[in-house]
């Protein structure tokens, strides 16, 4: 009996997802369009993202997204309690996302420059941020100049990069093509192409020619 209830519930949820998915797609595209973002054909959104894109000081496009961009939001990601994807671009920021990029319950915060190459896959809960958000000087954090003294530096992620779940990529980082980053890593420095890094702070595990058994267990999206 319990099996029948489980199967019936699963069937109902699947039918519901099939029915509402086109609406999610339409609403996500409208959110990007209304925020002056440009995206290529094939954009696919499971659930509704949180999009906050400033129009900036000029009329230039602050956010460009390539072809076949896929994002999973909320319960369409890992669990029902999962957060939505957040795409935030400040008025001085420029966000560039390549073709066939996939993210799940991820956060992208751009105050200056974030570039994501083609075929990048980012697992659940990945955070990509190009700023410290607050001043590093403790005295400045108490005053009105706190945000004005924050430090920002461009983030660049190359092509075909695999970013494991729960990873944080911080300001000033450049990640080379075909690199792999283990789950729950904190990336504070640049990663050469084709290498495997993991840890807090992230360190080189080995080159990209083979993956150790420990990394096979830790890498997941």
Catalytic sites, residue numbers: 134
Edge to edge, what strands does the sheet with 50-53 contain?
50-53, 86-89, 107-110, 127-129, 168-169, 186-187
Hey, what are 85's tokens?
A: 């994807």
The structure tokens 């809960």 sit at 125
N-terminal to C-terminal alpha carbon distance within the chain: 34
Hey, what are 61's tokens?
A: 């496009």
The structure tokens 């000029």 sit at 58
User: How many angstroms separate the Cα of 104 from the Cα of each of 137, 152, 200, 211?
Assistant: 34, 25, 21, 23
* Nearest-angstrom CA–CA distance, 175 and 81: 30
Q: 148 in helix, strand or coil?
A: helix
Radius of gyration (C-alpha) of the chain in whole angstroms? 19
Hey, what are 200's tokens?
A: 């807090």
* Nearest-angstrom CA–CA distance, 112 and 109: 9
Q: What are phi and psi of 202, to 5 degrees?
A: -65, 135
């Amino acid at each position: 009996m319990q099996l029948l209830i489980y199967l019936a519930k699963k069937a109902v949820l699947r039918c519901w997802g099939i029915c509402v998915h086109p609406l999610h797609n339409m609403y996500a595209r409208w959110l990007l369009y209304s925020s002056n973002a440009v995206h290529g054909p094939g954009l696919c959104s499971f659930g509704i993202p949180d999009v906050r894109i400033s129009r900036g000081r000029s009329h230039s496009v602050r956010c460009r997204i390539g072809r076949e961009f896929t994002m999973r939001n909320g319960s369409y990601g890992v669990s029902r309690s999962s957060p939505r994807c957040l795409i935030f671009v400040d008025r001085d920021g420029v966000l560039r996302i390549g073709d066939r990029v996939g993210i799940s319950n991820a956060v992208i915060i751009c105050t200056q420059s974030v570039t994501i190459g083609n075929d990048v896959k980012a697992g659940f809960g990945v955070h990509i941020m190009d700023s410290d958000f607050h001043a590093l000087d403790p005295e400045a954090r108490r005053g009105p100049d706190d945000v004005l003294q924050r430090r920002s530096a461009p983030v660049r992620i190359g092509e075909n990069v695999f970013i494991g779940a729960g990873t944080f990529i911080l300001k000033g980082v450049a990640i080379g093509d075909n690199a792999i980053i283990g789950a729950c890593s904190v990336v504070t420095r640049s990663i050469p192409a084709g290498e495997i890094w993991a840890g807090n702070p992230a360190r080189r595990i080995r080159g990209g020619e083979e993956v150790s058994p420990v990394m096979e267990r830790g890498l997941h999206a």
